Structure formats: C-alpha cells, structure tokens
Amino acid sequence: MTDDFSQEGNLAQAIPGFRARRAQQIMAKAISEAVNDTSTLLVEAGTGTGKTYAYLVPALRSGKKAIISTGSRALQDQLYHRDLPTIVNALKFRGKTAILKGRSNYLCLERLDAQNSAGGDLPVQQLSELVNVRAWASMTQEGDTSQCAAVPEDSPLWPLVTSTNDNCLGSDCPQYEQCYVVKARKRALDADIVVVNHHLFLADLVVKEGGFGELIPEADVMVFDEAHQLPDIASQYFGQQLTSRQLQDLARDITIAYRTEVREVTQLQKAADRLAQATQDFRLVLGEPGFRGNLRALMSDPSQQRMLRLLDDALELCYDVSKLNLGRSALLDAAFDRAGQYRNRLKRLNNTQEPGFSYWYECSRYHFTLALTPLSVAERFQEVIKARKTSWVFTSATLAVNGEMNHFAERLGVQQAKQLMLESPFDYARQTLLCVPRYLAETRQSRSAQQLVSRLTPLIEANDGRCFFLCTSYQMMRELAALFRETIKRPVLLQGETSKGQLLEQFLAAGNALLIATSSFWEGVDVRGEALSMVIIDKLPFASPEDPLLKARMEDAQLKGSDPFYQVQLPDAVIALKQGVGRLIRDEQDRGVLVICDSRLVTRPYGEIFVKSLPDCPRTRDLDVVLNFIKQQ
C-alpha cells in the first residue's frame, strides 16, 4: 500500500505534481495497520503532510466499509467532490462512494408543498426565492440545497422547506418514497466509502441511542479529520438544548396545518401566535446579543422565571390543542410530539441542580439557545467505541500541546489509543518569520485598537495587504475594521458583511486586501501562494473565563485536584492558536510573516508552551526586521 505513495507509484502517475513524502507514507502505513488490527489511532499530521490522501488510500485499499467524517460541510464537499475522485481514479477503485449530510441540507418535498399552499404571508424576497426553489425542485436528482445556486445558502427560506430530526414526519410522510434524505441514506447503505461531517455523526449517534431512525450506516472503519473539534461538538449533542428556532418552527408548522388541513380549528392559530409571541418576549428579556451567560443565574431571577412559565404555558396550549385534533394531519401529529418534547426539555433545563453539567444560554440578535452541556464526553465516547468492533482513526494538524496529545485523548476518552506525531514538511526556518512586537500594552490593560492600527499599518502597507487579521473578539474585529478603513486605501474586508465564501472570493480577487475576522476564519481556510503572506493575531486565544461552560470545566478540574489553568484554559488556547497560525503557510512555495500581538508569549512562563507548540521558525520583536523580511519576498 505504501508503494502507492512512492515517486513511481499510482498517485504520482495519476496526479500532476505529486511528490513522495516520507511523513505521508508513515501515516498511511499506521492507518493501514489500525484498520487491519481493528484498533484506535491518533495522528497529528503537520500542515503539508498530505493527510487527506494518507487516510483515503488505506480506506479504499482495505476492502472494508469506511465512513470519513470532516469538521464542516464545506470540507465535506471538498473531500467528496475533489479529493476522493482523485484517489478513486488513481487507484482505479471499483467500489461505490456516497456523501451524506444532515436532514436540513436536503429539500423536503412535503414542507415545500406546505409552503406552496400557505406561503402567502412570506416576505417578497422569500416568495421570489420560493419560485426559484420550485423550479430547481423539478430538476434536482439529489435535493442537496447547496446545489441550488439561485437561493443563498443563508436564506431564511431554507428552514421552511427543509426538515430536521424534530419536524421530519418519517415514514408517515406522504412524500416518503420520493424523500431525498431516504434516497441519500440508501446510497450510503450501498456505498463502500461514505463521507459525513462531525455534526451529523454525533446527531445521528444520539438518535440511534433514542431508538429512532438513524441516517448513518454501520461501518468497519471510522476516520475523523479535523478531530480536534470533536470534544466540543460532542458536548453539544450529549447535552440538551432548546432554541428559539425550534419553537418558531413549531409555531409555523401549527399555522400551516391550520391553514391547509384543519381550517375550522381557529384555536390552533391562537396557540401558534401565543407561542411565537412568548418566544419573542423571552428573547427580549435575555438582553444584548452576542452574550453567553450562566443559565443557573438566569433561572434564579424571579422575572425570568415568570417569562419561562409563560413560554411553558404557550407550549402547553399547543400540546393540548394539537392533542384534540390528533389523526387529522400528519404535520399536526408531529407538532404534538414536538410540543411534548420541548416541554420536557424546558423542565430539565429548569432543574439546574443536576451535577456534571454546565448550564448556559446565549442569544443573537433574534434568537436564543438554552442549554445544558456535560463537562466531559469521555465516558460516553468510550462507550461508543467499545460498542462497535470498528477501527477508529482521529487526525488533525492540531491535536498536540507541548509535544503531547494527552489533552485531546483525555477529553475524548481515547487514552489507550496508539499515538503518532508527524511534523510538517515545510521549511519554516526559511519560509516564515514570527514577530511578537515590543511596546504593546499588556492585554489585561485597556489596549486600544488604535494602538494596533498605528503600529501595524506600516507592515500591512509594505506587504501590499494580502493579510488576515485574526481577532479573539467581535468588538475588537469591528473597531479595527472601522479604523483601518479610515487609515489605508486598500480594500478592508470584514467577517459578517457577507458570507465566508464570498469574502474569500473578494480577498483573492482584490489581490491587496486586508481581511479582518474572528472565530470562523481561524481554521478551515486554505489560501495558497502570494495571495496571503501575512497573518496577524491580536492576542492569545484564551476563552473568556466568564464563559459558563469553560468556568464549569475549570471548577470541575479544581475539584479533582488539577490546576484549571494548565489543565483546561491553556491547552484549549494552544490548539486554537495553532489553528490560526496554520492559515499562513499552506504550500512549500509560500512565504510569510506571522505577527502575534501578545507579549505574554515572551513575558509569561506559559508562553514557552505556546512557542514550543508552534512551528520552529526565526523570531523577532523588532518591526524593522519584519519590514526587511517583507522586502526580500
């Protein structure tokens, strides 16, 4: 199998520009052994190792059914439509492949019909998009909403014409035989290689445990790419959540059932309106958007308890009115079940004394989430692994902290797994310069965005833009964007002003832009060549100590006799920083400057742990040295 990766092997013959890489061969061999031994393997593969090919080749060569899970839908599409066909062609693979996404990624014909019947009150823009979806529905074979170019992926219409685990009618649906989700699952059952994403895998796992109709078939080999995301995503699914979107969707379905099938029961419309209003009122009392708070503290406030009772009363009314009309509408029957489920979730969320969980809430401009999240998913994940006679492979460029993968292994409960660490083949000593500028205010002081702009503008100008400025907060991101737009003539792009994909297109098209972003651009972004030759990070990415989930994990570590900073905060921050740094050098020909505007890298003892976890490259604190490096590019 490793011959496939040699300079005369199948990959070299089929892929233009392919070069044999020792680290890639080692990784492929280790994965092949894990597949043969039905064992568990952790692999940190530095940027440029070629880890995608290193796990695809053993999976295809194994002759076993394999499921490959990625960190996001964008990476899932890239893997399935670009990387997998390349390897299939190179190996002349004769098996079948399939891609499987969550229900909400497929058009629901039943909900489309319902919107066609009751969509008269939609805004003009959504009515226009509904016409486009109808036209696309008559042509699409797979029903994957990402393939409908006429409607933006973030359009408010999509939730109205797609289903979720909550509102899917299952085998009771009149359109069950034509269902795109059912067809996608049949293709997955029949395939040898199935590409999914972490959110779908974990959501499906919870559905399986509940005894409902799961989507993902059983497999002999499980590969998780971008595995560093798994512990946090798993904690979402192993807990409980109730969101305003779920409640609004329930109210909307009751309205549709009333307008299309049970028209004489006006009480249904009144119940739906009351739920929608109670949901909106509860969002208003939660305060400013973009905030994550402690649900325990919220629930102890008498005024919040009153609003919560009004929300529960509205759900109870929906439950009672739907119950009186059971059997008259499949949509209403499903709404009855959901109203009961949401009342039970609300009751559990209100019981804030359950140990081992963090209780938290957060709100955006229009929506809220109430949640309880387990402090550890290790035990649950151990049970999942033990229950299946399957090979498990977890890989990422960022699993290790200070040269060890213990933090990740403990969080996921895979301490017994074999571990393999492979360094990047890139020559960071030649390709990169790391700068921690002198004379910046300590982060704990009131450092201003103005100071960062005045100190860094000469670097950005000298580099002709071509820069990502990655921030650790939305406030700093917005302040920097406003100041840079006053200061420099070149394009300044800001996360949130358009979609992530469009921002990247604008950045590449401009050729001299400054892109200012936060969380979603720290990972999963691949810009190669001269288009990106500088990455600036405003400060070390420690999560806010006021975040209720982090706070609960730290308190739990303290109770167990561990140092919460070194056990929880520091490892999470190191992995996040490694992801941000990884945006800069994506190819052997890339060259660029990394600027981390946080003197704690130099002044604090723990700074050494960050530095040791980063690629080994020349370092300076002098901005003139950086300017000279830029001029030599």
The domain segmentation of the chain, as residue ranges, is: 2-95+192-237+380-422, 103-181, 240-374, 428-631
* Closest listed residue to residue 184, CA positions, set 214, 211, 158, 155: 214
Check residue 213 and give its pLDDT: 53
* Torsion angles phi and psi, residue 19, rounded to 5: -125, 140
Please state whether 547 falls in left (phi above 0), alpha (psi between -120 and 50) or beta.
beta
Please report, as a single letter, which amino acid is at residue 1.
Answer: M
Q: 458: number of CA atoms within 13 Å, CB side?
A: 12
Rounded distance between C-alpha atoms, residue 488 and residue 461, angstroms = 8
Length of the chain in residues, anyone? 633
395 bridge partner residues: 43
Rounded distance between C-alpha atoms, residue 607 and residue 603, angstroms = 7
* Closest listed residue to residue 282, CA positions, set 242, 330, 237, 337: 242
Check residue 41 and give its pLDDT: 97
* Torsion angles phi and psi, residue 521, rounded to 5: -100, 0
3-state helix vs strand vs coil in the chain, percent to 5: 55, 15, 35
Q: For residue 200, how far is the Cα from the chain centroid?
A: 11
Rounded distance between C-alpha atoms, residue 92 and residue 444, angstroms = 58
> E strands of 212-286, at which residues?
221-224, 240-243
Same topology, domains 2-95+192-237+380-422 and 428-631? Answer is yes
107 bridge partner residues: 162
DSSP-derived 3-state class of residue 174: coil
Fold of the domain built from segment(s) 2-95+192-237+380-422: Rossmann fold (3.40.50)
Check residue 499 and give its pLDDT: 78
Q: How far is CA 222 from CA 31, 66, 68, 370, 420, in A?
A: 11, 6, 6, 32, 17
Contact status, residue 378 vs residue 230, Cβ threshold 8 Å:
no
Assigned token pair, 587: 């190819």
Check residue 445 and give its pLDDT: 58
Q: What torsion, rounded to 10 degrees, do the Cα atoms 456, 460, 462, 463 define?
A: 140
Assigned token pair, 343: 């009342």
**Cα angle, residue 601 at apex, residues 618 and 462 outer, rounded to 5°:** 50
pTM: 0.90
Contact status, residue 508 vs residue 564, Cβ threshold 8 Å:
no
Check residue 211 and give its pLDDT: 47
Rounded distance between C-alpha atoms, residue 422 and residue 53, angstroms = 15
* Closest listed residue to residue 160, CA positions, set 214, 121, 216: 121
Check residue 330 and give its pLDDT: 87
Q: How far is CA 180 from CA 54, 102, 147, 391, in A?
A: 32, 11, 13, 30
Q: Indicate the CATH number of 428-631 among 3.20.20.140, 3.20.20.70, 3.40.50.300, 3.30.360.10.
A: 3.40.50.300
491 bridge partner residues: none
Domain at 240-374: CATH code? 1.10.275
Assigned token pair, 75: 């990476």
Rounded distance between C-alpha atoms, residue 293 and residue 290, angstroms = 10
Task: Return the CA Rg of the chain.
Answer: 26
Q: Which parts of the chain register pLDDT below 50?
A: 211-212
Residue showing tokens 């098996």:
95
